[in-house]
Structure 1
Amino acid sequence: MPFAFVKSLSSPNVIYDSKKQWFGETKEGVKQYAKEFQQSKIKIMLKPQIWVWNGVYTGTIKMKSEDEWRELEQSYEDFILVFAKVAEEINAEIFCIGTELEQFVINRPEYWKKLIKKIRKVYSGKLTYAANWDEFKRVDFWEDLDFIGIDAYFPLSDQKSPTLKDFEKGWQPHKNEIIQVQSKFNKPVLFTEYGYRSVNFTGKEPWKSDRIEGDINLENQQKALQALYNQFWKEDWFAGGFVWKWFHNHKEVGGEDNNRFTPQNKPAELTIKKMYENSK
Structure 2
Amino acid sequence: MKIKLLIFFVLILSETSFSQKNKINGISFVGGRNVVTEASIKPVINVNANWVCLMPFGFMQSLNATQISFNRDRQWWGERKVGVRNTSALFHNAGVKVMVKPQIWISRGAFTGHIGMKTEDEWKLFESVYEQFILEYAVLAQEIKAELFCIGTELNKFVTKRPQFWEKLIAKVRKVYKGKLTYAENWDTFDKVHFWKKLDYIGVDAYFPLSGAQTPGIEEMEKGWDKHKSEIAALQQKENKPVLFTEYGYRSVDFAARQPWNSDRSMNSVNLKAQENALKAIYNKFWDEDWFAGGFLWKWYDFHHKAGGTSNSRFTPQNKPAEKLIQEFYGTYQ
Q: Structure 1 length normalisation: TM-score?
A: 0.98
- C-alpha distance in structure 1 between counterparts of 2:268 and 2:315, whole Å: 13
Identity %: 55
Structure 2 gap ranges (5+): 1-54
Aligned pair 1:74/2:132, yes or no?
no
Aligned to 2:277: 223
Aligned to 2:183: 129
Deviation at residue 213 of structure 1 after TM alignment: 6.1
- C-alpha distance in structure 2 between counterparts of 1:214 and 1:100, whole Å: 25
Q: Which has the higher contact order (CA 8 A, sep 6+)?
A: 2
Deviation at residue 211 of structure 1 after TM alignment: 2.1
Aligned to 2:228: 174
Aligned to 2:75: 21
Aligned to 1:244: 298
Aligned pair 1:154/2:208, yes or no?
yes
Structure 1 gap ranges (5+): none
Aligned to 2:151: 97
2:310 equivalent among 246, 256, 263: 256
2:195 equivalent among 135, 141, 145: 141
Q: Which runs of 4+ in 1 moved over 6 A?
A: none
Aligned to 2:107: 53
- C-alpha distance in structure 2 between counterparts of 1:132 and 1:213, whole Å: 22
RMSD between aligned alpha carbons? 0.9
Deviation at residue 40 of structure 1 after TM alignment: 2.0
- C-alpha distance in structure 2 between counterparts of 1:5 and 1:130, whole Å: 18
Aligned ranges 1:106-121 → 2 under 5 Å: 106-121=160-175
Aligned ranges 1:203-214 → 2 under 5 Å: 203-212=257-266, 214=268
Deviation at residue 212 of structure 1 after TM alignment: 3.0
Contact 2:253 2:267 in 1 (8 A): no
Aligned pair 1:272/2:272, yes or no?
no
Where 1:230 maps in the other structure, the secondary structure is helix
2:92 equivalent among 38, 63, 68: 38
Aligned to 2:37: none
1:165 equivalent among 209, 216, 219: 219
- C-alpha distance in structure 2 between counterparts of 1:197 and 1:112, whole Å: 33
- C-alpha distance in structure 1 between counterparts of 2:108 and 2:299, whole Å: 21
Deviations 1:229-265 (A, max 9, x none): 0000010000000000111222211111111100111
Q: Quick check: 33-42 or 190-199, which moved more?
A: 33-42
Deviation at residue 36 of structure 1 after TM alignment: 1.4
Aligned to 2:40: none
- C-alpha distance in structure 2 between counterparts of 1:29 and 1:275, whole Å: 29
- C-alpha distance in structure 1 between counterparts of 2:199 and 2:267, whole Å: 40
Q: Structure 2 length normalisation: TM-score?
A: 0.83
Larger Rg: 2
Deviation at residue 197 of structure 1 after TM alignment: 0.2
Aligned ranges 1:180-199 → 2 under 5 Å: 180-199=234-253
- C-alpha distance in structure 2 between counterparts of 1:152 and 1:207, whole Å: 9
Deviations 1:193-251 (A, max 9, x none): 00000011000000011223631110100000000000000100000000001112222
- C-alpha distance in structure 2 between counterparts of 1:212 and 1:273, whole Å: 30
